[in-house]
A and B are shown apart, each in its own frame.
Chain A
Amino acid sequence: DTEVTQTPKHLVMGMTNKKSLKCEQHMGHRAMYWYKQKAKKPPELMFVYSYEKLSINESVPSRFSPECPNSSLLNLHLHALQPEDSALYLCASSQVGGRGYGNQPQHFGDGTRLSIL
């Protein structure tokens, strides 16, 4: 069992739909992350939130819109996605720590498997 909960586990949507992925953690972590993982590839970082503020955006298209409403929740809003956006979307959390204080492993959820029709 994971301490990071992602819902839904599976999502099928059309290219014109709007949907949201949700992630929740209750470990008191103040950093939260979204990763995208295509089949048979490693995870790729999309966004990082630190203290509920967006700190890293890895040049992700605007059809992906992250939101961090509070320290326990992270959302990823989806709109007008393309078939190539079909992937496993992973959420993770960690303590923030600081540069040079690398004692902050990330805890991952089991992801949302997204299929775009």
Chain B
Amino acid sequence: DAKTTQPPSMDCAEGRAANLPCNHSTISGNEYVYWYRQIHSQGPQYIIHGLKNNETNEMASLIITEDRKSSTLILPHATLRDTAVYYCIGSGGGADGLTFGKGTHLIIQP
């Protein structure tokens, strides 16, 4: 899995968009960028993933730079329930297991 770098913590006001950056400059051509989050006392929750193109689902949007060296997860209207640790992971998929970094602790402020 590619090594990723994320800021250790971020704050965001409730109702605003939360933009979480991730650097993955060593990602290989066949590795996807996955985002998971872990709310306290729960297991990690899958959010979104992408290879080259930007992706959007009901939870978030993923913007991947053209050179694929970095990406941004966007939570369009953050709520208090979005407070969690967010992990960005580069992985080829299959049944390889995931290598988690330290992630970003996102705190949504009321």
**Those of B8-62 within 8 Å (CB) of chain A:** 30-32, 34, 41-46, 49, 51
Q: How far is the CA of A111 from the CA of B40 in the complex (A)?
A: 12
Given A43-B44, A105-B46, A108-B44, decide whether A96 and B98 contact each other with a Cβ distance below 8 A.
no
Contacting residue for B98 out of A4, A103, A106, A111, CB 8 A: A106
Q: Which residue of chain B is the closest to A49 with respect to CB atoms? A: B95
Which residues from chain B contact A108 at a C-beta distance below 8 Å?
43-46
Q: How far is the CA of A105 from the CA of B95 in the complex (A)?
A: 10
**Those of A87-106 within 8 Å (CB) of chain B:** 90, 92, 94, 96-106
Given A42-B102, A105-B49, decide whether A111 and B94 contact each other with a Cβ distance below 8 A.
no
Question: Which bucket holds chain B's interface residue count?
Answer: 20 to 34
For chains A and B in complex, what number of residue pairs have CB atoms within 8 angstroms?
84
Contacting residue for A45 out of B51, B97, B101, B103, CB 8 A: B97
Size of A's binding interface in residues, CB under 8 A: 34
Q: How far is the CA of A55 from the CA of B95 in the complex (A)?
A: 8
Is there a chain B Cβ closer than 8 Å to A107's Cβ? yes
Q: How far is the CA of A70 from the CA of B92 in the complex (A)?
A: 25
Whether A103 contacts B32 by the Cβ 8 Å rule is yes
Whether B31 contacts A102 by the Cβ 8 Å rule is yes
The chain B residues found within 8 Å of chain A, CB to CB, are 30-32, 34, 41-46, 49, 51, 87, 91-103
The chain A residues found within 8 Å of chain B, CB to CB, are 2, 4, 30-31, 33, 42-45, 48-50, 55-56, 58, 90, 92, 94, 96-111
Given contacts A56-B97, A102-B34, 5 further A-B contacts (CB under 8 A): A42-B103, A56-B96, A96-B94, A101-B93, A111-B42
